[in-house]
Chain A
Amino acid sequence: MTQQNTDPVGADVEPTPVGAATSEVATVPGVATVHTAPVRREALYFARRNKKLLGGLAVVLVFLLLGLLGPLFTGDDPLAYVGPPSASPSGEWLFGTTTFGQDVFAQFVHGLRATFFVGVVAALISGVLGMVIGFTSGYRGGLLDEILNMVTNIVLVLPVLAVLMVVVAYLEVRSLTSQAIIIGLYNWPWVARAVRAQTLSLRAREFVDLAKLSGAPVHRIIFREIAPNMASYLFMVFILLFGGAVLFAATLDFIGLGPTDGTSLGLMLNQAKQWSAMNLGLWWWFIPPGLGITVIVSAMYIMNVGLDEVFNPKLRES
């Protein structure tokens, strides 16, 4: 199946509070309070000093810039035949050329764009979907909970490849957006489970009871009492979703279920495999794209660890 597209730090299988910072928020009965100003300031104070967070962020930004600005320098068509075939990296061709004489560096920077796009969009979709289902399921409980649980299980059980192959066979032209949507629609179950578990534990807390007694409507309770306490956790969930989406997209592209136009890092690997770059020793064709993905996703994961330290005082190194 696909690579372990579940949370590497274990938050999906059991609601381990490792990734959760259920900070105590001072509330006055009847008045919903989000993180008070001092708490936000404190988070920022630590955020600015956390090496992992800053380092990871810097790396991601560098690649993002490369993806945004790079194509301006390398021209519009990364698939054009511009140079001698199978040339090794040199001053002229930073990453060498493919067996067809295409500029690997141009493909790389264009691929970065695609990667970031899919990562962000898919993460948003899965995140929102997972959170909505998780909150509702955890907060409401009862029959609704059971039904949503079953839906979650079914999506987990469906072989994604099967669905994809059908979709792929139907859509003549596949775009980045449709790939992002499909990934988004597949990756949410672990989020729903984790959010549900967190909601369950928060629901039983006193400040929620107080809010209920004061007559606040359900959505207000969820948004102003429960969600802010999980805000830090949700942030980290997004980061993990982004990383997972990037890896998943790369896998899909590699198998050949990716977008039909343009290029992406996964597609580069696909091409490299297909045209025996491995056997021919054209290492500059397959090492950069894989390395790019590895570095970006690693940076995201390390950012995640940094964020955990920022939000959870116990983890900070004193």
Chain B
Amino acid sequence: MSLRVEDLEVHYRTLRGDVHALDGVTFSVADGEIMGLVGESGSGKTTLGKSLIRMDGRMRHVAGSVTLDGGDLPIGDTAAMNRFRFTDVSIVPQYAMSAMNPTRKIGKMIRELVESRKIRFSTVREELDRRLDLVGLDRGVLDRYPIELSGGMKQRMVMVISTLLNPSLLIADEVTSALDVSTQRAVALALASFRDHELVRSMIVITHDVSLVYQIADTITVMYAGRLAETAPTPVLVSAPKHPYTQLLISSLPEVGIRYDGKRLTGIAGSPPALLDPPPGCRFRDRCPLAFDRCAEQPPFVEIAENHKVACWKATS
């Protein structure tokens, strides 16, 4: 499968006007690829994830197109999208902890969900059991209520449910944010194993945690203020980032084995611009240590090396 997103623009309608959450995003995900989508809060990564499967009431598809396996994905038309959901595109949501109906036994809920999509539960029953084994969940979990499960268990359960019908594209939105470190690792590895076992063709892993995607992603895309800043294969992005924002992100990560005696962790000063009425030009301009006058004009997202694209005048000049 392959996903191709061209110039996607998605706005949020608010009482004070339109928030330009996604302002012209172009990228593609190849067959079998795990792409990490990284950015701070408000960068638009969750909006991107949501747009690809189900927009909420206030989102509007303003421009751009999405193509999945050569066919157009009608993301703006929620009724038309229904036939792609769960089977072609699926999502492990940010709220996975509360994603299951609290008053229904898990097994019963899955059965009702699957049957409502016109699929006989008996045909997926065996597969369901195998997936449970794969993520390390006891088969008896199907007879329990969500409240009886721990956070990590619920997360893995939702992963199993979302991937049950072998979607071409899986969007994993902040799947490890609410977990402790060791469970994070288990969940991340489980995700990767889904792809390795070809239960899922491709994945977009959305997170603010660079070190997570470093472990499992093939490529990493960095988003800033509704636009893409840089995208590159993982080893390249981590060792030789070209966009100033990416550089600051990577350098702000603590390294194992190094003692920061008397030295504080430096973050990136400032905060992203409000997207209600975005400033012209490069959006990182105000926080960028390398900014110069050309930055008043929005830099295009161009390829500077194999599969390595940046939107920065400094990087491309």
A contacts, CB < 8 Å to B: 316, 318
Contact = CB atoms under 8 A, between A and B. Distances in A.
The 3 closest A-B pairs by CB, nearest first: A318-B13, A318-B58, A318-B15
Nearest to B57: A318
Contacts of B58: 318
B60 to A, nearest CB: 11
A26 to B, nearest CB: 14
6 contacts: A316-B15, A318-B13, A318-B14, A318-B15, A318-B57, A318-B58
B16 to A, nearest CB: 10
B149 to A, nearest CB: 19
Nearest to B15: A318
Contacts, number: 6
Interface string B1-23: 00000000000011100000000
Nearest to B14: A318
A73 to B, nearest CB: 44
Nearest to A316: B15
Contacts of B13: 318
A318 B17 CA distance: 10
A315 B57 CA distance: 12
A316 B14 CA distance: 10
Interface in B256-272: none
Contacts of B57: 318
A318 B15 CA distance: 6
A316 B16 CA distance: 13
A316 B57 CA distance: 13
Contacts of A316: 15
B151 to A, nearest CB: 15
B12 to A, nearest CB: 9
Interface in B42-67: 57-58
Nearest to B58: A318
A318 B19 CA distance: 13
Nearest to A46: B15
A290 B56 CA distance: 45
Contacts of A318: 13-15, 57-58
A11 B297 CA distance: 54
B143 to A, nearest CB: 27
Nearest to A49: B15
A309 to B, nearest CB: 12
Contacts of B14: 318
Nearest to B13: A318
A222 to B, nearest CB: 28
Contacts of B15: 316, 318
A316 B15 CA distance: 9
B21 to A, nearest CB: 15
B63 to A, nearest CB: 21
B201 to A, nearest CB: 35
Nearest to A45: B15
B248 to A, nearest CB: 25
Task: Determine which residue in B13, B14, B15 has the highest number of CB atoms from chain A within 10 A of its CB, and name it.
Answer: B15
A280 to B, nearest CB: 55
A183 to B, nearest CB: 37
B278 to A, nearest CB: 20
A21 B150 CA distance: 27
Nearest to B12: A318
A65 B13 CA distance: 41
Nearest to A317: B15
B30 to A, nearest CB: 38
A105 to B, nearest CB: 44
B115 to A, nearest CB: 30
B239 to A, nearest CB: 37
A96 B248 CA distance: 82
B216 to A, nearest CB: 30
Interface string B141-167: 000000000000000000000000000
A260 B129 CA distance: 75
B18 to A, nearest CB: 11
A308 B14 CA distance: 19
B13 to A, nearest CB: 6
A318 B57 CA distance: 10
A316 B58 CA distance: 12
A15 to B, nearest CB: 15
A4 B217 CA distance: 60
Interface string B51-86: 000000110000000000000000000000000000
Interface in B13-39: 13-15
A46 to B, nearest CB: 8
A45 to B, nearest CB: 9
A285 to B, nearest CB: 48
B257 to A, nearest CB: 30
A276 B57 CA distance: 56
A181 to B, nearest CB: 43
A44 to B, nearest CB: 14
A42 to B, nearest CB: 11
A235 B13 CA distance: 30
A316 B13 CA distance: 13
A204 to B, nearest CB: 15
B39 to A, nearest CB: 22
A318 B14 CA distance: 6
